[in-house]
Structure 1
Amino acid sequence: MSTKINKNIFGAIDKYNESVKKRISSSGSALVIMKDNKIIHEWYSGSHHFGKGARMIDSSSQFNVYSARVTYVGLAVAVAVFEGYLNLEDKLSDFFSELDSEIVGETTIRHLLTRSTGLKIDGGKVKRVFEPGTNIEGKRPDLLAKIHNISTGKSISEVLIEKVFQPLTWNQSEWMTEGKSTLVCDIHSLQSPPTIRLGSNAGDERNLFVSARELAYWGNLHLYKGMVHDKQVLAKEIFELSTSIQSPSNLPNVHPKFGFLWWIKDNDTCCNYNEMGSELPEGSYQILGASNCSCTVIPEYNTVAVRMNNSLCEIPKEDYSYIEDINTFGNLVVSIIKEL
């Protein structure tokens, strides 16, 4: 690849992201694209909220990444598996004695990581919705965090701060317990005031704030399997584990496949609900958050693409398609990379 890149090549994706920002009533947005271990494009637009005097979005702005945080939980669990604290075939009943063991049955950590437990757990009660490994459900990173704590004696954040954030001097990836000026507010509607979601610093809640650059570095850490500036930060086997398909073999091909909560592009999957763009090569992986942030990793092209927004607004389906949007974004990234 040439060391000098024509910046005009990114015009289409910048314009597209600006249009999405407006369509979903996001006050601010950011984009970072990395290729071959380098940032090749950054774009920042808007402000931290719509109010008077709001800070403008820049490289230090930290967005709440919401469900994108589950890959952080996933990596900590992968470390625990690699270090021998956990096994993917460990039963959930070994960790949640308060739940009816007959209902939990043979459900394992693998099922929990790949969103296929078939269990509905609420308030210490459990019921079975479908058999393990036969369908897809929502994410339960809180349960994984509890299992991790029971098995290792450490929180998710303790492990990641010690093994990733501190060695790499990342200071824009934080589970926030109090506000500060670099945090981007959530927009719920144009009529309601903006908010900032705070919580525990244990790493098990929806309060992980990350800058666009550091979310891109997070994807890049996985892409290069723990190698950063010729230093192996974590064993490559940990990343091979977390970013390869771990879904049970009995999962029907109409359902998407997952690694350690990463959504993985698998050409054998033929589902209608597919968050991976059609142009993304097999083996690409991605995670999305409720505020419209995303991290897409494309190993075939040594590329990571991150997009941030701060909208939690309910948009009518006729005005905005979540699936169409993320598919378009991924396909745009591929089209750009192919031109470089």
Structure 2
Amino acid sequence: MFVERKLNGQFNSVVSQVKNTYDMVDGSGAAMIIIHKDKIVSEEYWGKHSKAPNARTVQEDSQFHVASVRKSYIGFAVAYAVYNGSIDSIDDEVTKYLSVTDAELFDKTTIRHLLTHTHGLNTQEGSIIREFAPGKGWAYRDINIEMLTQMVKSTTGRTIAEILKEKVFNPLGFKETGWYDEVNEKLVQVIKEQNDKFWSTSKGTAGDQKNMYVSTRELAYWGYVHLKQGFIAGEQKVSNEILKLATSLQSPFLLNKDLPQNGFLWFVKNLPAKKTEIGELVPKGSYQILGYTSVAVLVIPKHDIVAVRMFNSFGSTPGYDYLSDIRAFGDTVMGCL
């Protein structure tokens, strides 16, 4: 265990807020952890791995599907590629590293644009289209993630999973974080509509697919490694330069100040922005990432806090406003200080 477990009631209102979200979404299980000042001060598990009568109880080693939270791991791999010189600069154009059929379509689109969702690209009926000029807007799409994973592989010669295992998982002894092709007893089943158009059935263990599962504690430790900039138990276990790069503000200057701000795919709190997923009370310099299963990890360096919540509900049920709920998560954490 990275940190001592010393539970207290300081964050009971966060427990209540997460439990309330669990009651609102269509899931069978949930969990949450808060690390504050190098101690696990709150840790809760609810429900079961599925709605089956004999389903396994959610517990410490239960691994939840983290959906887009996986992007923080991809962001680390891109930061690694920059740090070790495989990518010269995130202001390089994408076409320097990837071959494309329509160079004009990608003109002036940089790696920075891909990392901060300001690239303006999308797919439509199997073709790549442009929604807005690079750096002139913000839109949450999948095409940038596909391009970034390809770029990591082509520049480093290694997969996302290989980089993470060598640089993070193995040094820190992570055993409950990874990409899984097959179901096993520790994986929490995702509760979803049978033909949900957003659900990915792609398989692979290279880290480029949407099949990542993480235990609640190891997701909290992932946030904690970033909080401590890789310095764990008196030793620099993970490069602080890579972690700093990944979590620093990287968004280009945008005329619309209400658009979200990002680091290497992390959402970063800088200036107030109406469309951010980070709560109003959460201070500048904090960063967070949220998945479609409503899984989230929030890091608040100013107050030495990592807060994680886990659910297994895929998408939003009627009446559930995920954006206001995730903001309330961070604001409730802040209200406990």
Match of 2:130 in 1: 128
Q: Is the 8 A contact 1:187 1:313 kept in 2?
A: no
Helix, strand or coil at the partner of 2:302: helix
Q: 1:92 to 1:17 in 2, by over 3 A?
A: same
Match of 2:270 in 1: 266
Q: Is the 8 A contact 2:31 2:45 kept in 1?
A: yes
Residue 4 of structure 1: CA displacement? 10
2:214 is the counterpart of 1:210: yes
Distance (Å, rounded) in 1 between the aligned partners of 2:19 and 2:164:
33
> Comparing 294-303 with 327-336, which one deviates more in the overlay?
327-336
Q: How do 1:99-138 and structure 2 match up within 5 A?
A: 99-121=101-123, 125-138=127-140
2:41 is the counterpart of 1:48: no
Residue 233 of structure 1: CA displacement? 1.9
Helix, strand or coil at the partner of 2:10: helix
Distance (Å, rounded) in 1 between the aligned partners of 2:273 and 2:263:
18
Residue 5 of structure 1: CA displacement? 6.7
Query: Deviation string for 1:197-223 (max 9, x for gaps)?
Result: 672100011111000100010011111
> Comparing 98-107 with 298-307, which one deviates more in the overlay?
98-107
Distance (Å, rounded) in 1 between the aligned partners of 2:133 and 2:53:
52
Match of 1:223 in 2: 227
Equivalent of residue 292 in structure 1, options 288, 291, 294: 294
Helix, strand or coil at the partner of 2:278: coil
> Comparing 60-69 with 197-206, which one deviates more in the overlay?
197-206
Match of 2:96 in 1: 94
Match of 1:141 in 2: 145
TM-score (norm 1): 0.91
Letter in 2 for 1:150: S
Letter in 2 for 1:132: P
Distance (Å, rounded) in 1 between the aligned partners of 2:181 and 2:91:
34
Helix, strand or coil at the partner of 2:162: helix
- Across the aligned residues of Structure 1 and Structure 2, the Cα RMSD in angstroms comes to 2.2
Distance (Å, rounded) in 2 between the aligned partners of 1:130 and 1:67:
23
Distance (Å, rounded) in 1 between the aligned partners of 2:125 and 2:150:
15
Letter in 2 for 1:180: N
Q: Is the 8 A contact 2:266 2:289 kept in 1?
A: yes
Letter in 2 for 1:328: A
Residue 225 of structure 1: CA displacement? 0.9
Equivalent of residue 180 in structure 1, options 181, 184, 187: 184
Match of 2:238 in 1: 234
Distance (Å, rounded) in 2 between the aligned partners of 1:58 and 1:294:
18
Q: Is the 8 A contact 1:179 1:198 kept in 2?
A: no
2:257 is the counterpart of 1:253: yes
TM-score (norm 2): 0.92
Residue 323 of structure 1: CA displacement? 1.2
Q: Is the 8 A contact 1:262 1:286 kept in 2?
A: yes
Distance (Å, rounded) in 1 between the aligned partners of 2:16 and 2:210:
30
Q: 1:104 to 1:322 in 2, by over 3 A?
A: same
Unpaired stretches in structure 2, ≥5 consecutive residues: none
